[in-house]
Amino acid sequence: MDDSNQHLKELLKQTDIAFKALMREPNSISLNQQYEEAKIALDTYTTSLKQTLSDKCLQQRHR
């Protein structure tokens, strides 16, 4: 779980950095794209993590 936590922290950091850069230059197409990509990476990871935890919970119930 430590690797998962570290990866999550890194994705959050990347998203935060991209957001702050975008706030400084809100009309920048490249910064908008970077922020969108960071959000997608974070959303994808959290969705995957939720599914993994849900699967583990279901496996434990069926034992």
pLDDT score at 1: 60
Q: Looking at the 3D structure of the chain, how many domains does it have?
A: 1
Q: Structure tokens of 14?
A: 């990347």
Q: Which domain holds residue 27?
A: 1-59
pLDDT score at 23: 98
Please report, in tens digits, the pLDDT of each residue of the chain (63 residues total): 688 899 999 999 999 999 999 999 999 999 999 999 999 999 999 999 999 988 888 888 877
Interhelix angle 29-61/2-24, rounded to 10 degrees, is 160
pLDDT score at 2: 80
pLDDT score at 40: 98
pLDDT score at 13: 98
